[in-house]
Structure 1
Amino acid sequence: MTTLPSHWTRRGFLGASTAGLAGALAPAIGSAAPTCAPLPTAGTRPRPSAAQLAWQREELSMFVHFSVNTFTGREWGDGSESPQVFNPTALDARQWARTARACGFASMILTAKHHDGFCLWPTKTTAHSVASSPWRGGKGDLVREFTDACRAEGLGVGFYLSPWDRNAAIYGEGKAYDDFYIEQLAELLTSYGPVAELWFDGANGEGPGGKRQQYDWARIHRTVRALQPHAVMFSDAGPDLRWIGNESGSAGSTCWASVDPARVPRPGADDPWTGEALQQGDPHGAVWRPGETDVSIRPGWFWHAEQDARVRTPQNLLDLYFTSVGRNSKLLLNVPPTPQGLFHDNDVRALRGFAQLRTAMLARDLAAGAPVTASSNGATAAHATDGDRDSFWMPAGGAREGWLELALPADAAFDVIRLEEAIAHGQHVSNYRIDAWRDGCWQPLAWGTTIGHCKLDRVPPTRTPRLRVAIEHAYDVPRIARVGLYRSAGGDWSRPDHHGDTDA
């Protein structure tokens, strides 16, 4: 999939059940359904719903691209592939889920159907599915094995079902395809238990005979709300989560969770402002729609033998953590199984190395429990170092600026700073500065714009008796839930004096 300029011409997420069920649902879901996040009223800024908050706090999710493409060596199938090619000889979804859990991922998203139209469950809507394959003697259900494996490991379940179907003869025929699509969606949402995330995109190429389809997104969203009201929906247009604007693994260095819906009007919108709007969000945006950063562990999205030696390194994956999670986004990392139905050893080694680097770096918060003073409201200043992301410091009197000062222990040598806002109350900070006490005065150490759920700053290896975090501007009263200090494995700690360390 990396051959394409944008994932909106590639992937999507939908599903359905039986025609009878879809028909029965039509009256119930035809009326307005509640949105996942409440719209702001006058004088308020948007806040996350409980589902959106839980989603972002997970930080890491794993994408699993697996289909007939795995066996044909393609990134995009054209719908003519025979189901007979699909025959993973050692498929073990528990291996996928165990790897994800062991490496710190909290949920997984499966490509239940890609553009080729091949369904990984025995759908009643088409013969182009695992039921027509030799795998498990035609009795297999990969979606079932995937969901069972995720739940056995305590992972959230997500589905991606492409709206573009290059196999369906009725693709491009308006309501007929809408009904087909909704029926598939209902099957996925009613047969496999709770679903945490639905991953939609605007993939909209030609179907059989060169036909194109105008998707009924309003109906799709109503169906999800009716059948899985606690699920969040992803697309560039939301309604709950947005694409971050690229597939390089990098959110904007300024990244608001709020957006102006008018700037990303529909999935796959071709708008010159879309990229900027998706990357940065909008501090004045009316809705809460945090960004998800999707990227693959390999150059492609499906497994290809020639890419076995081109798997991202653990250090590169850690860098992606900084440019996604560390910029108020969530990292969705794709790991494609082999034709045997297993994660390749090279991918697993990279994931484990990534987990080891991340765990080692975050094992000890050097600011935990540090004494804190503040510009005002000092009684609550200690909340910034108590490790509870639901407690926070905020300046008194409705002030939109202020500072926290930490008194650090002598052994607090660090090169990573983590800041968090209490985003259950919204995202407000637009400019901050971090200073270290050196040579009898405050000296700048780091500077940034947005914070949100998490902002990670890499700094030179530093030892200082005092650290100050100054909020220089916010759109509402800032609420700082955490100031964390960490030591990575990559810093040059051999010459601490060279990197600005000082005595008290």
Structure 2
Amino acid sequence: MKKIYTLFSALCLAAAAPGTLSAQNNFKLVEESVSNPDNTPAPVYPVPSERQLKWNETEFYAFFHYGMNTYTNEEWGSGMERETVFAPTQKPDPKQWLEVAQKAGMRGGIAVVKHHDGFCLWPTKTTEHCTRNSSGYGKNVDIPKEFAEAARALKMKYGFYISPWDMSSPYWGKKDSNGNYTDEYAKLVFLPQCAELAKYGDDQFEMWFDGATGGEHAGGYGSYTSSQKRTIDNAQTYYDIPNLRDSIHNLLPNVIMWGVGGEARWIGNEEGYSGQTCWSMGDAESGNEDAWQWAAGESDAKSTKGWFWDSRKNNEAKSAERLFQMYLETVGRNATFLLNLPPNKAGVIDQSLVTIMEDLGNKLKTRLGTDLAKNATITANTTREAMGKGNYDAKNMTDGDKNTYWAAPDGQNTAEITLEWSTPQTLRYVSLMEYIKLGQRVKKFKIETSEDGVTYTKRATQQTMTTVGYKRIIPLNGSTVSSYSGSGIKAKYLRITIEDAKACPLLHTVEVF
């Protein structure tokens, strides 16, 4: 509330309280509501939508590349494979896929249900190139149905990958007699397929669209031959993307449409890292702090040599230690981490990969599972004034509530936050999270430790400590490669100094491991 003085007339005062009037009696303290009664910080635009926030909170989730290519041992099919080639040696088990992901510390998964070859892993009405025409365990398999049901049972988020490019369809890339592309593929195949997938549940968190638009791999189906290579020159128009966005968002209010929705971006590589400077706006690994649209980064990466399981080769799975490094360099650098786990010909995650995922999950729990900040006294050298229902105290950073946050006053773009323990602790990681509902702000910070609260030593000097965003994890020894090696850092005090920000900084969580 803003307090203001209002002059009342002597007549009114006399009527209310007869008696001798004085100059002091001519003023009365009253309270008037103002537009910002809680002293809430002004947003720094752009800011994320509610569905973008929910998507970001998924953090770490699985990609499951499974389909016709699993049975041809190819990364890219031709679209000319017989439907009976899809022949699982037992009933595929999407629940097992998600259970393995959950053991690895993931919060959801995205199932590839149609790759570029066009084969659909459900009995779709849009094409004969689907499981309806497979045989044995593959006949009428409905991967989207079982995947969605399993995700709900495990309380995990889920979504589907559907390739816009379709090498099996005679409509894809088709031109009329004047040499113009027809709209038959979008109307008869692609948009109806997306609508079918939407019906598997309105709680989907991501629908994933690859950017491939034809080229040297394009074969054909029906009247086409493998020598007829087709391309399109404008995916936005050809796939009727504006209509697709509106239609799917109406059906799936919380879904992020990756690749076509303008809501999230590819981080720029498939190697499992983002830039140490990483804005949630712009493009590529580092983003752009001046970009006008919110588009946080997603890093998709392989746990094995290829995207699909290849039974002919050594799949060369990455070690749990390497995957933990990738986690620090994605989730720990303001990006989400989409890690591929390819099911084998039996339709399950191979035991060799299961073992690695269990190891990764144990490492995440051991190394980032016990938050020492909860037992510390946390203070800040500057704090925004609490007004109305607003509370911006430093304690909000360690209360475990993402909806409460510490804030600096307006015009204050620097701050010091100090954690103190009653006894020395062994420290290895610091995790910071901005209150991004009101925009990304921090541009530069540093971390120091002390044994006596007087002499401080700067830590992680090899790390570029610029942006924070949704989450930033700093290994105090400065290395993501050997972040857990050594004896750790003994300290009784830890100080985080925000040296520059776009506006008054806001942090909702500080964790120390």
Task: Specify the TM-score bucket, using the shorter chain as the normaliser.
Answer: 0.7 to 0.9
What's the offset of the Cα at 1:245? 0.4
What's the offset of the Cα at 1:103? 2.6
Q: Deviations over 1:328-384 (max 9, x none)?
A: 111101000000101001111111000000001122111214112222128711222
Residue number in structure 1 paired with 2:142? 141
1:182 touches 1:223 (CA, 8 Å); kept in 2?
Answer: no
What's the offset of the Cα at 1:305? 2.6
Residue number in structure 2 paired with 1:478? 505
1:369 touches 1:382 (CA, 8 Å); kept in 2?
Answer: no
Which stretch shows the higher mean deviation, 406-415 or 77-86?
A: 406-415
Q: 1:436 to 1:193 in 2, by over 3 A?
A: closer
SS of 1:354's equivalent in the other structure is helix
2:131 touches 2:138 (CA, 8 Å); kept in 1?
Answer: no
What's the offset of the Cα at 1:203? 0.5
Share of identical aligned residues, percent?
33
SS of 1:157's equivalent in the other structure is strand
Does residue 465 of structure 2 align to residue 448 of structure 1?
Answer: yes
CA distance in 1, matches of 2:292, 2:503: 14
Does residue 220 of structure 2 align to residue 212 of structure 1?
Answer: no
SS of 1:220's equivalent in the other structure is helix
The 5 A counterparts of 1:124-163 are 124-136=125-137, 138-163=139-164
What's the offset of the Cα at 1:404? 0.7
The 5 A counterparts of 1:280-299 are 280-299=286-305
What's the offset of the Cα at 1:393? 1.4
The 5 A counterparts of 1:296-311 are 296-308=302-314, 310-311=316-317
Q: Deviations over 1:143-186 (max 9, x none)?
A: 21222222221122211111111110111123111112111111
What's the offset of the Cα at 1:201? 2.3
SS of 2:406's equivalent in the other structure is coil
1:122 touches 1:141 (CA, 8 Å); kept in 2?
Answer: yes
CA RMSD of aligned residues (A): 1.9
- TM-score computed with the length of structure 1 as normaliser: 0.81
Q: 1:307 to 1:422 in 2, by over 3 A?
A: farther
Q: Deviations over 1:189-232 (max 9, x none)?
A: 12445321111121011443323233332222122122212211
What's the offset of the Cα at 1:57? 1.4
Counterpart of 2:473, as a letter, is: L
2:62 touches 2:339 (CA, 8 Å); kept in 1?
Answer: yes
Q: 1:54 to 1:419 in 2, by over 3 A?
A: same
Residue number in structure 2 paired with 1:254? 277
2:111 touches 2:160 (CA, 8 Å); kept in 1?
Answer: yes
Residue number in structure 2 paired with 1:176? 184
CA distance in 2, matches of 1:390, 1:375: 22
SS of 1:398's equivalent in the other structure is coil
What's the offset of the Cα at 1:391? 1.7
1:299 touches 1:307 (CA, 8 Å); kept in 2?
Answer: no
SS of 1:186's equivalent in the other structure is helix
Counterpart of 1:156, as a letter, is: K
1:121 touches 1:130 (CA, 8 Å); kept in 2?
Answer: yes
Counterpart of 1:372, as a letter, is: I
Q: 1:58 to 1:294 in 2, by over 3 A?
A: same
2:83 touches 2:129 (CA, 8 Å); kept in 1?
Answer: yes
CA distance in 1, matches of 2:298, 2:509: 22
Counterpart of 1:49, as a letter, is: S
Bigger radius of gyration among the two = 2
Does residue 416 of structure 2 align to residue 403 of structure 1?
Answer: yes
CA distance in 1, matches of 2:107, 2:200: 22
What's the offset of the Cα at 1:251? 0.8
- TM-score computed with the length of structure 2 as normaliser: 0.80
Count of residue correspondences: 427
Residue number in structure 1 paired with 2:404? 391
> Of the candidates 357, 360, 363, which is equivalent to residue 351 of structure 1?
357
CA distance in 2, matches of 1:324, 1:123: 36
> Of the candidates 265, 270, 273, which is equivalent to residue 242 of structure 1?
265
SS of 1:230's equivalent in the other structure is coil
> Of the candidates 233, 240, 245, which is equivalent to residue 257 of structure 2?
233
CA distance in 1, matches of 2:490, 2:455: 14
Counterpart of 1:310, as a letter, is: E
CA distance in 2, matches of 1:193, 1:479: 33
Which stretch shows the higher mean deviation, 140-149 or 158-167?
A: 140-149
Q: 1:256 to 1:89 in 2, by over 3 A?
A: same
